[in-house]
Structure 1
Amino acid sequence: MTEPPTHDEAHGGALGERLNWLRAAVLGANDGIVSTAGLVVGVAGATTDRSALLTAGLAGLLAGSMSMAAGEYVSVSTQRDSEKAALALERRELREQPEAELAELTELLEGRGLSREVAREAAVQLTARDALRAHARVELGIDPDALTNPWHAAWASFLAFTAGALLPLLAMVLPPAGWRVPVTVVSVLVALVFTGWTSARLGAAKPGRAVLRNVGGGALAMGVTYVAGTLLGAAGA
């Protein structure tokens, strides 16, 4: 007798949360690539001194990664506070007016395509099992057991930005002086093709346009900063 097949893939909220984290990591790495590449290429337009390039690149990496981490922490903390406040309000309403909340849950389920009778029965069963969780998921779109974590978001952004920023930094300081800018530009454009393709696939979109936007934006950033650095270097600034 064969056993029924098992399914190991994530479903529902777990899959959505995983994709959101992956997308955030890809975008964080992309920001690290573009911002650090623009910085070191701009400095390379003004000087060929390896120490100056390394100092500028490390400063940009640390400032950018800390800024990303702080921004994510503040943003996700605000989101978590909002989710907790919404759950507290829902908990109070369930305690003070349970019949009205049951009717509201029935209407929400009916709006999702269930018949009135089935929606009512489902609402009754969900309420009996865990009223707060039922309302949180159906009404608020919140999983009470998986609230957003600001520390996870901060560390993920910090690490993703750092990983992305290391590429242009190393590409700029490791090769000989004459090869630094070409190696950095090629490395960055290849990396942007990858991050653009990955972000598009995670969003179930066609990658071609996303890759062109990504590469075009990165090339423009490097071009502008290189010209600016060259002009400042020529002026002796």
Structure 2
Amino acid sequence: MSYYKKLTATDLIKISGFVPRNRILWKNEINEEYSHDELTTEHYYPEMVVKINSTQEVSNILKYANEHKIAVTVRGAGTGLVGAAVALKGGIVLDMTMMNHFLELDEENLTLTVEPGVLLMDLASYVEKKGFFYPPDPGEKSATIGGNISTNAGGMRAVKYGVTRDYVRALEVVLADGSIVEFGGKVVKNSSGYDLKDLIIGSEGTLGIVTKIVLKLLPLPKKNISLLIPYQNLEKAI
């Protein structure tokens, strides 16, 4: 017998009290795209998809799901290749793509505060127009920044600049019981206590759901050069 409760019409009514019904997909309303990520080798349909619009909605749903033992999977753009956005146990998928707002560009402290549904290509374009640079550059530009944080995405620039973890200053996270917590801060020196921010980064949604992100920026480089350098073998490259 499964540990997780199967959703019923009663659950739909209750969750419709947290989120308008027009932002909920129920059973046969759920599109095929929600059954897989870009790997597409395994298909598992959720019983419900909720299109999230605020931190409080995430909190309310997680609290309800925790009390009733309902499985919850968080999903961004679904561009991953590791199955983290696939609802293996059915239950509820939280679609975070509507939380896609730029909240604050702090030019003095070189930080950008965004919601998790912001696409990586939109983030890069936004800051570059202002004369700033967000270095992490994973191959999939249509991924969300929330997904990048959940997988600690790297990319071709990682050798020079580092990975996603190196550019996250602070996170707002909703825990499984619905608690809303904040980890990290805008300041560079923030070393007291456990480093829970870095624990969340790369955890693929298993520890909490990220609902707000403060990113570190750099000044925009004057030049950007990509090189393709062939070698006859690995030893010569080294």
Identify the structure with the greater helix proportion: 1
Identify the structure with the greater strand proportion: 2
Higher relative contact order (CA 8 A, sep 6+): 1
TM-score between both structures, scaled by the size of structure 1: 0.25
Q: Which has the larger radius of gyration?
A: 1
